[in-house]
Structure 1
Amino acid sequence: MNILSLGEKIKKLRKEKNMTLKELAGDRITAAQISHIERDKSHTSYELLEYLSEKLDVNIEYLLETKEMQSKKITDNLILQSEIFIKCNELDKAKNQIMQVEKICKDYNLTENNGKCNYLVATINLKKENHSEAISNFEKALYFFIKNNDKKNIFRCYLNIGNIYQEEAFYKGAISHFNFAEEVLIDSGIENAEIYKELYSKMAKCYMKIDDPQNALEYIEKINTIDKQNDTKEEVELIILKANTLLSAGKYEESKDCFKRALETIEKEENKTDLANIYLTISDIYRDMGDTEKVLEYSHMVYDIKKSDEDECMMNGLFKIIEAYIDSEKYELARKYCKLALVSSIKYKNKFNEYRSLKLYSDMYKKQEEVTPAIEYLSKCIKIISELEDGKTLANLYIDLGQLYSGISKEKELEYYQKGVFMYRNLEII
């Protein structure tokens, strides 16, 4: 990992080969001249470097590499290794290595890699939930990325800072940074529809949180516009048509490139989870606005996209559908989807989703003022949550059960209220 001058490299190689100055000099040069070169006291010609590389059995490119070039290669590799440490959650090891890399970057003015180091330190702080430190490091990284006009990483910094502000409920700060991110995307000419949709869904949600539905709807409309412009099936058909035309004309390489593009487009579409998560966000926004029809529209889109996967994303879509049908008092449809959610939860042995399904049954019967089945389902929820040892949820369920007994049994009502309050006190909620 040592960064060596030309003279240091020649001396190191000569020593490794147990050669004297005279042996390396041969008939081409004097031993004294070699000594001067090794101490970086004199310059060498390209022809002399060719001679030395041959004698030392080394590639001339190695001798020609400046300290700056070496430092760039070394730091590139160490940064990649640090990223692996972070991916493997070896955060302290990554941070220690990045500190070494930063010193090399500072010594050799490697602004690009200095930016990457600060970005990785920010990522480590983000994983450790040190949000203020993460923001500080993202801002330092921005300085270097802006200096190098690295638009991709400038975008990533603004997006990450926006995400942190959104998580901390500082929605105006989040919007400001998401706007910066959007400007960088547009300026850089990036045409990745999924990136835009993810960004716009975040902006829409932030606008809803600051009670600005007009701007929220504007960004939702932008997402809808992107969806209309990106009909994957139609796009693939056009690419394949072009590929077949080129194939018929004997332009095999161009045809192959088109077929590869078509395949990449199809494979991109197969990653449905990102799109489904965006629709879940939009569904949440419409729920906050009280627009049940739109909640159902986007929740059904999530379910349709993910029903073949039967994963957590699909379940979240299902639960939103059920809640919307309960809100709009369409109980038969709510029961239909509740049954689907419960069957899927039991099939995959997901006890928490089983609880969520049963709780929705209870909520539905409570809203219909059918207290007995509401109590029955809530009791099943309590049994599951007790097994999962989720204290806060269990306390809430006891309070809910006490409310259900309020018109039936004062004794039971008081019993479950006391259980709930006792748990709240143990959890230091009250």
Structure 2
Amino acid sequence: MKQLALHEIGEVIRKVRKDRGLRLEDLADENISPATVSNIERGVAHVSPEKISYLLEKLNLPMSKLPEMLIKEQEEIKKVKFELLSVATLRRIGLIDEALEKLEALNLDDNHPYIAHVYYYKGECYMSKYKWKQAERALYNALRISQQNPYKESNMEAASYLLLGLIRYKQNNIEQALELTSTGIEVFNDKGDNQHIRCLLYRNKGVYLQRMGRITEGMRLIQDVWEMIPGIDDINTLLGFYWLRAEFSRQSGLLDEAIEYATEGIEISRLNKQYDSMCDLWTVLGSVYTTKKDWEMAETSFKMALKLEGKFPPDQRLTTVYTRLGILYIKQGRNNEAKEALKTAINFAERFNDAPRLSTSLIILGDLYHMCNQIEEAVSSYQKALEISQKHKYQDKEFKIWFSLARCYDGRDEEGFQNCMRSMYNVKKEFNRWEVEDYENNI
């Protein structure tokens, strides 16, 4: 018996047992254990042919009838696959409740070969409704079942880790998002189906490294996987890698390389009408030209990014555009325009509960107020950023904020100044390393 045949026979045995209302224990005796029956049903390869034959005899299932029963079972599985395809389509077009109803109507048990897919799609649907707890519950079920399955062809385990990482990212826990995504890469089956999951895992890992400021590690990752770029069919994933390559090149000081990948990505996104990616790539260009002190081209790039507003659903990327535009204006001494841009960035970050970008934008606005000698406004902005940083344990930012507040209190409020210095020490003590962070790089 080949492995695939074992798996198919196991499905038939499981279905017959369920149809007859039998438990695993009901088929066990001194010759075969419940665990062995379970292994046969799941198609585990190390079960001996004698045990399989013995179980078939107990069920009164002659081998001659198996081909017919296998065909019937395969037809039922095809129907389930068809229903899952319709579920995926419904979710994609926004009919989430209808997709969830279809999934519930399938009523599959935990031994069905596609039950992990059902839980996975439930997780996707709940994510679309921003119901994070229900989504996590469904995905952990998909993970549990896929880990128990000896066959890893569908890569459901890796796919579940992918979405679990994304959920943590959406909840502003980037460190856990990175950890889950890295695990997904480790368990990915290179010979299995759904090869696009591998590309998504690497892309998301790159994004999380960029958001954490781990530039060297991120650049190495993108360079290592760049050879897979020509084989990527999904245009969004492809452009995500172009953005990462351009952004990491910029942050590494490879400005001409950043311009090369950004402009190439803009051309691809223009031809494919991918306006959100075009916005990202114009933003990278604006930041590159800001670093080059080419103010005119920098402002043109940022304004090109903003012209795309309304061409895609508003999201966190608009926070980045307005914040980096504010930084450009600060460098040019256009302080009033900088304040307006940063306030707009903060509004977008608050709207989308984007704690990392919100805290960074508030810090930059506080610095601008301090530079303009608007101390009360600076303190207010820093304190808002401090509350967010403490809540999400952004210790590097917290250190920076305490230092900035100390500057505000110096010579004005000795007690407040001393409290800030003590707080800086406490943060430094807990946070083993401190690197002066270029906050623009995390926008």
The answer to whether the 8 A contact 1:166-1:206 is kept is no
Are 2:203 and 2:240, in contact at CA under 8 Å, matched by a contact in 1?
Answer: no
Are the equivalent residues in 1 in contact too, given 2:103–2:122 (CA < 8 A)? yes
Alignment of 1:261-340 (within 5 A): 272-286=235-249, 289=252, 291-308=254-271, 309=273, 311-340=275-304
Equivalent in the alignment of 1:177: 184
The amino acid across from 1:378 in the alignment is K
Structure 1 residue 312: Cα displacement:
0.8
Contact between 1:162 and 1:173, CA under 8 Å: does it hold in 2? yes
Shift of 1:124: 1.2
SS in structure 2 at match of 1:184 = coil
CA distance in 2, matches of 1:210, 1:355: 17
How do 1:279-428 residues align onto structure 2 when only pairs under 5 Å count? 279-286=242-249, 289=252, 291-308=254-271, 309=273, 311-345=275-309, 357-368=321-332, 370=333, 373-379=334-340, 382=343, 390=351, 400-410=364-374, 413-415=375-377, 417-418=379-380, 421=383
d(CA) in 2 for partners of 1:312 and 1:172? Answer: 27
Q: 1:68 to 1:427 in 2, by over 3 A?
A: same
Amino acid at match of 1:360: R
- Contact 2:320-2:345 within 8 A present in 1 as well: no
Shift of 1:178: 1.4
Q: Which has the larger radius of gyration?
A: 1
**1:197/1:291 Cα in 2 relative to 1: closer, same or farther (>3 Å)?**
farther
Once residues 218 and 425 of structure 1 are traced to their aligned partners in structure 2, the CA distance between those partners, rounded to angstroms, is: 33
CA distance in 2, matches of 1:157, 1:360: 38
Cα offset for 1:298? Answer: 2.6
Q: Give me the whole-angstrom Cα distance separating, in 1, the residues matched to 2:342 and 2:213.
A: 35
Is residue 101 of structure 2 the alignment partner of residue 93 of structure 1? yes
**Residue 220 of structure 1: CA displacement?**
1.9
C-alpha distance in structure 2 between counterparts of 1:365 and 1:204, whole Å? 29
Structure 2 residue runs of 5 or longer lacking an equivalent are: 1-14, 17-65, 127-131, 169-174, 393-443
Map of 2:27 onto structure 1: none
User: Amino acid of the residue matched to residue 158 of structure 1?
Assistant: A
Matched, 1:220 2:220: no
Cα distance in structure 1, aligned partners of 2:390 and 2:205: 35
Give the equivalent residue in structure 2 for 1:80. 82
* Count of matched residue pairs: 310
Superposed displacement of residue 315, structure 1: 0.2
The verdict on how the C-alpha distance between 1:195 and 1:282 changes in structure 2, with shifts beyond 3 A counting, is farther
Corresponding residue of 1:137: 142
- Paired position in structure 1 for 2:422: none
Contact 1:378 1:397 in 2 (8 A): no
Report percent identity of matched pairs.
11
Per the normalisation by structure 1, the TM-score is 0.54
**Quick check: 1:397–1:420 contact (8 Å CA) kept in 2?**
no
Tell me the residue number matched to 2:432: none
8 Å CA contact 2:276, 2:312 repeated in 1: no
Quick check: 1:351–1:384 contact (8 Å CA) kept in 2?
A: no
Q: CA 1:321 to 1:83, structure 2 compared with 1: closer, same or farther past 3 Å? A: same
Deviation at 1:319, TM superposition (A): 1.0
Whichever structure has more helix as a proportion of its residues is 1
Q: Give the TM-score, by structure 2 length.
A: 0.52
Q: Deviations over 1:219-265 (max 9, x none)?
A: 52442x345x77xxxxxxxxxxxxxxxxxxxxxxxxxxxxxxxxxxx
Distance 1:95 1:121 in 2: 9
2:136 aligned partner, one-letter code: H
CA contact (8 A) 2:219 2:245 kept: no
Task: Give, in whole Å, the separation in 2 of the partners of 1:384 and 1:172.
Answer: 29
Contact 2:139 2:160 in 1 (8 A): no
For 1:113-155, what per-residue CA distance to the aligned partner results, in whole angstroms no more than 9, with x for missing partners? x1211221133135433436513423413544x44xx62x1x3
Could you list the runs of 5+ residues in structure 1 that have no partner in the other structure?
Answer: 5-63, 107-113, 231-267
Letter aligned with residue 135 of structure 1: Y
Is the Cα contact below 8 Å between 1:359 and 1:378 reproduced in 2? no
Structure with the larger RCO, 1 or 2 (CA within 8 Å, 6+ apart): 2
> How far, CA to CA, are the matches of 1:397 and 1:384 in structure 2?
7
Query: What amino acid sits opposite 2:191 in the alignment?
Result: V
Q: Check the 8 A contact 2:270/2:278 in 1, yes or no.
A: yes
CA contact (8 A) 2:263 2:281 kept: yes
SS at match of 2:190: helix
- The CA deviation at 1:333 is 2.5
CA-CA distance at 1:316 after TM superposition: 0.8
Q: CA deviation at 1:279?
A: 1.5
